[in-house]
Structure formats: structure tokens, C-alpha cells
Structure 1
Amino acid sequence: MTVQTTAAEKRAVILLSGGLDSATVVAMARAEGYSCYAMSFDYGQRHRAELDAAARVARDLGVIEHKVIGLNLNGIGGSALTDIAIDVPEAPSEGIPVTYVPARNTVFLSLALGWAEVLQARDIFIGVNAVDYSGYPDCRPEFVEAFEVMANLATKAGVEGQGLRIKAPLQNMSKAQIVQAGAKLGVDYSLTVSCYQADAQGYACGKCDSCRLRAEGFKAAGVDDPTRYF
């Protein structure tokens, strides 16, 4: 059933992982006057702490609806985030790291696209970043641009000329700039979890690539880091 929207209302679907970047994107979309609808995924990742974090962020930032979609990406494996037999690396690596999840952003954006059509939302926000994106191919500007083209070819909304946009406001920002932007918008980063191997309470390892980038970002931004480590 399609949700009706008023002419004055602009809606956005936002991919919300529960981490630092996606929380900042929710705050940015809200600051731009969007009614925010967040989508998270229980995709077979190593821990559920990030989903708990996503729920906290959604409540704190006034998201209208937070939808959690169940997937089974661990069924295909191929990533340290979905296959417990593959260790999460604790040192920087060259090339595409083993924490890359095959097709993850393609799948996530596709489901967000479907919900956007139902909501009559023209904008989908994703927190990908090309400056320190850890080598993931589905975080590059070329990917975002190509997906937007596909979205407008593959949907009723696109064919009827309503125009769907994939917005990646963090694309060319450093982690420090992201932290500073979020802090100005009132993001409570203590609610977020970024660690690839956090424990059930959301405590971070402090050793993985995601923890390293997060810690460096807070330090460079001159903002107190609220991350809890085990």
C-alpha cells in the first residue's frame, strides 16, 4: 500500500547501520528538513550490537519509522563480517580487505529503493565515504552514481519522471570532518557502535580498521571520543 504524502513534506529513506557515519547522515537529512525513515539490516553480521545502536540513534534523532530487514548474507559468506571462520584483521591491509561484504550496499540500496517507492520518497541517503572508505568498491562515487541511474530506470517512480536520488553527503569528507559536522548537529556518538567485532554490550575492540579510523577521526576533530572499549 502506497503511503500518501503532502506537497509540503519531503521524505527520505536513510540507511542506518548504527555507526558513526550513518548517524551523522540521519542528522544531516533532518537538518535539511526531511522526514526521516531509517532502514537497518540484520544480515548475518558478527554481532547485533550495531542494530541496538541503530535503534538508539533512530529514537534520539526523531526518526519517524525505523525498519529492520532480515537477510542472510552469511549464507554466501566471503567476508570476515559474515563468516566467523575468517578473522577480522587488526592491522591495515592493502587492497580490498576481507571485511568487504559481497554486494552488501547493492542489496541494501535496492531494498531502500523499494521502500522509498512505497513512501513516495524521492531521496535515499547512504553514509558511504570515498576518502577513508577502507577499500570497499561499493563506497565509491562511481557506484553511487551508477546506482542512481539504475534506480531511475528500474522503478515506476523513475519511469513516470518523479526522479529518485541517491545522496551520499559524506562522500568527500574526512572522518574528522564527519565527526565535527555531526557534533554541530547534536549527534550523540556515545549511542553509536562502529567496531567490526564489538561485544554484546557494544564495547569496541580498539584494534580493527573501523575502530582505528573512528579513533583517528575524533582525535583529528578535537572532539572527545565516547567509544567504550573492552
Structure 2
Amino acid sequence: MNKKVVVIYSGGMDSFTVLNQAIQQGYQVFALTFNYGQRHVKEVEVAKAFCQRQNINHKVIDISAINEIIAGSSLTSDIDVPTGDYDNDNMASTVVPNRNMILLSLAIGYAVSIKAEKVFYGAHSGDHLIYPDCRPEFVEQMNQVAAIANFEKVTIETPFLHSSKIEILQAGIEMKLNYGDTWTCYNGREQACGQCGSCIERLAAFAHFGETDPLSYE
């Protein structure tokens, strides 16, 4: 039987690529999506729809109650999502305090319960400056904790930790993935805004390869 792994799958480009890579590598994938009260909750619906079409084991977990104690991010609170380039000064308001530590803790618990050996998540190099919980030192320390938090050792895997968005898209193109099955925009509207840092970074990656992004933009 194929080895079981848990993939934290937001519905965005990075986790979508990680998810499909794990499947193509022969793992038995259990996708885990979290509704943490993000305004771009559309990504959850996109993730759900893709997993249903592909018959992927998938759970959507509602942890939106954490917003009662974790606030101040433009992704979860009544704060405008910034527009412009994806840099530290501009995107600082999109940091959700301790998000990945919370999500990884739950995913590790899930992995132990189903006897999975690994938890994958889609941190990449473009996140390092802005998001502390996507940095190599965070992943390293969380791996040490994961090794001792349970009797069963679970390894955290971040295949694109040192890769750019362009390199992630390149991997997806080589796997012939359809990125129309993803959602990146930080605004939760019907179409992607094309102006937030997340959209700009995505569009720049497609432009690098002379490709047209399959998503519809305002």
C-alpha cells in the first residue's frame, strides 16, 4: 500500500502544486483544508471542488472561532487588503499570528491518527521576508517538535521552501497542471482583483513563461 501523507491544501497555487506532486510521487494523499475565517474563503470552495472531482481524500476543518483571540490581519479582520507589490512593508498586514504553527499542529495530529508519516505544506522562498512561519528556521524547529510531540514521528515536508513562485509554476507546467483549479487572490470576490500582492506575484510568474493565467480577473 502507498505511504500515507497529509497535505495542508489551501486551494492556492503553492499547495495545489505540492498536492499534485505528492500524488504523482505515489503517496496516498489526505488533503486538509482549514477555514480560519479568511476573507478569501473562496479558496476553500476551490479546494473542495478539486478534491471532489479527483476523488482525493479531503477534510475541510472550520477553525474560524480562533478569530476571537487572533486578530489584526487584513486576511481575517475588517482591514483593507493592501494593493501593490509583494514585499515586507506592503504585505505586513496580511500576517495571521501563528497561523502555520496552528495549522501544522492540527495536521500533525491528523497524521498520527491515520498513521501518516509526513505532513506537506507549501511554504516558498517568496514568503520568507513577510511570513515568519514560512522561514527555513521555523520549519526546522517545527520538525524537531513534531519528532517528540507524539510517540509516532511525523516529518514536515516543504518541497518548495527554497523555490520562487516562478519555480513552483515551472514545476506545475512540467506536471501539466491546470491552475484554473486554484485561487490566489486575497480578496474574496467573484473574480481575482489583480492588484493585491498575491495576484501580482502570480501574474508575474505566468508572464515569465509567456503563459496566460486561466483565472478571470476584474
TM-score band by shorter chain is over 0.9
Distance of 2:176 and 2:163 partners within structure 1: 18
Deviation at 1:74, TM superposition (A): 2.2
User: Counterpart in 2 of 1:209?
Assistant: 197
Distance of 1:62 and 1:223 partners within structure 2: 28
Q: Check 1:94–1:9 CA distance in 2 against 1; reply closer, same or farther (3 A cut).
A: closer
1:228 aligns with 2:213: no
1:26 aligns with 2:15: no
Query: What do the CA deviations read for 1:61-94 (whole angstroms, capped 9, x no partner)?
Result: 542x11111112322211000102x111112353
CA contact (8 A) 1:97 1:135 kept: yes
User: Counterpart in 2 of 1:5?
Assistant: none
- Give the TM-score normalised by structure 2: 0.92
Superposition map of 1:183-194 within 5 A: 183-194=173-184
- Give the TM-score normalised by structure 1: 0.88
Look up the equivalent residue of 2:62 and give its one-letter code: G
CA contact (8 A) 1:26 1:61 kept: no
Deviation at 1:216, TM superposition (A): 0.6
Distance of 1:45 and 1:94 partners within structure 2: 20
User: Counterpart in 1 of 2:59?
Assistant: 67
Look up the equivalent residue of 1:11 and give its one-letter code: K
Superposition map of 1:1-230 within 5 A: 8-63=1-56, 65-71=57-63, 72-75=65-68, 76-84=70-78, 86-92=79-85, 93-95=87-89, 97-133=92-128, 135-158=130-153, 164-199=154-189, 201=190, 203-230=191-218
Gaps of 5+ in 2: none
Query: What do the CA deviations read for 1:2-52 (whole angstroms, capped 9, x no partner)?
Result: xxxxxx320110000001111000111111110110000111111321111
Deviation at 1:58, TM superposition (A): 2.0
Q: Check 1:104–1:219 CA distance in 2 against 1; reply closer, same or farther (3 A cut).
A: same
Count of residue pairs brought into register by the alignment: 214
CA contact (8 A) 2:40 2:185 kept: no
CA contact (8 A) 2:127 2:134 kept: no
Q: Check 1:21–1:61 CA distance in 2 against 1; reply closer, same or farther (3 A cut).
A: farther
Gaps of 5+ in 1: 1-7, 159-163
CA contact (8 A) 1:124 1:165 kept: yes
Query: What do the CA deviations read for 1:87-109 (whole angstroms, capped 9, x no partner)?
Result: 11112353561001001100000
Deviation at 1:152, TM superposition (A): 0.8
Which range moves more in the overlay, 168-177 or 106-115?
168-177
Q: Counting helix residues as a fraction of each chain, which structure ranks higher?
A: 2
